[in-house]
Amino acid sequence: MTTTRGLEGVVATTSSISSIVNDVLTYRGYNIDDLAENASFEEVIYLLWNDKLPNKQELDQFSAKLAEDAVIPEEIINQIKSYPSDKVSPMAALRTAVSTLALYDEEADDMSEEANYRKAIRLQAKIPTVVTTFSRIREGKEPISPKKDLSFAANFLFTLNGEMPEEVAVTAINKALVLHADHELNASTFTGRVCVATLSDIYSGVTSAIGALKGPLHGGANERVMKMLSEIGSVENVDSYLHQAFEKKEKIMGFGHRVYKTGDPRAKHLKEMSRKLTELTGETKWYEMSTKMEQIVRDEKGLPPNVDFYSASVYHSLGIDHDLFTPLFAVSRVSGWIAHILEQYSNNRLIRPRAEYVGATNQSYVSVENR
């Protein structure tokens, strides 16, 4: 039996959802560059779940259903109001609320293909509202109901801030959602698939995935990037900060990737959006610090930035609280989780790997009086 730490390089299943080959990311065979520049997030969700891009009628119907199902039950709002908001992290709140949503879904335990698809739409639609509702409640504000005539990205910003968003902000959020939608068999996706491979329900699968994303080695990287940029403070401090970190052998957040060797193809899209947004807000220092860091880390350590690095300054420039970065990641990635959950259901086999035992052997029981 061969042991591989972290299952690195282990092929655990076959999938037709997304691929990473020669540092090129595709969804259902579509290059991420093509989708990031041209597609709405609604189109990408439909693509991931249906293995094709929707026609106009299909897209209109799908988008309308997402908007219609975006309202969350009053019971969930009241539950969120009961959270100790000064102590609860947004990811813990999201995990708990998504699990509770199942209690208010009459089809929660209906495992038919049709019911699972309907639940998929409800989950995708409601998760951003859960995030924005928590954000507003902890600020002492009343939650805002989504508008049926707004896009997915626009509704997120509207229910977060309570005002109609500018087009550049909607474009930025839509692009970020597209770029984060799926990423092959990452930690949270694998967690979700392991869960539903037992034939547990879709709510349990998504809740499990959220739990995995909550960990700082997976979903929290962009929040830590923004913390690092805030500590650096100015372009003039970048060089000394990095070289001190190099000397201490500290990890520089937002660089390198276990799968990509020559660079994360998603990073360049967020880099350009960071440039535009920081110019718009008049805080170009975030972009300037980031580009200088990229140059130094690439030149001296051979590490290119990953998707988390520039998404930090993008979200900051949009006025999004730093601890909401990972929940926003979940708002997007739930589309991929669900695609993988539906795929797992369609050709299921219980996921049950083995472990190599390295503990003590030949032990004999000794009565408690003689220990």
257 counts as catalytic:
yes
- Of 264, 308, 316, 340, catalytic: 308
Q: For residue 20, list its beta bridge partners.
A: 25
d(CA 312, CA 309): 6
- Residue 340 designated active-site: no
Q: Which helix (H) or strand (E) segment is 192 a member of?
A: helix 187-196
The Cβ of residue 149 has, within 10 Å, a number of other Cβ atoms equal to 9
The DSSP code for 150 is S
- Polymer length in residues for the chain: 371
- 21 bridge partner residues: 24
Rounded CA-CA distance 152/150 in Å is 7
Q: Which residue has the tokens 């520089």?
A: 252
Number of H helices, E strands in the chain: 16, 3
Query: What's the rounded Cα separation, in Å, for the pair 304 and 309?
Result: 10
Token reading at 22: 């020669």
CA angle 31, 37, 41 (to 5 degrees): 85
Greatest CA separation found in the chain?
A: 77
Residue of 257, 269, 316, 340 marked catalytic: 257
List the 24-27 sheet strands across, edge first.
18-21, 24-27, 30-31
Q: Do 293 and 330 form a contact (C-beta atoms < 8 A)?
A: no
Q: Which residues pair with 27 in a beta bridge?
A: 18, 30
**Pair 137, 159: CB distance under 8 Å:** no
Q: What is the CA radius of gyration of the chain?
A: 22
Bridge partners (DSSP) of residue 26 are 19, 31
Query: What are the residues facing 305 on neighbouring strands?
Result: 255
d(CA 222, CA 365): 50
Q: Which residues are catalytic?
A: 257, 308
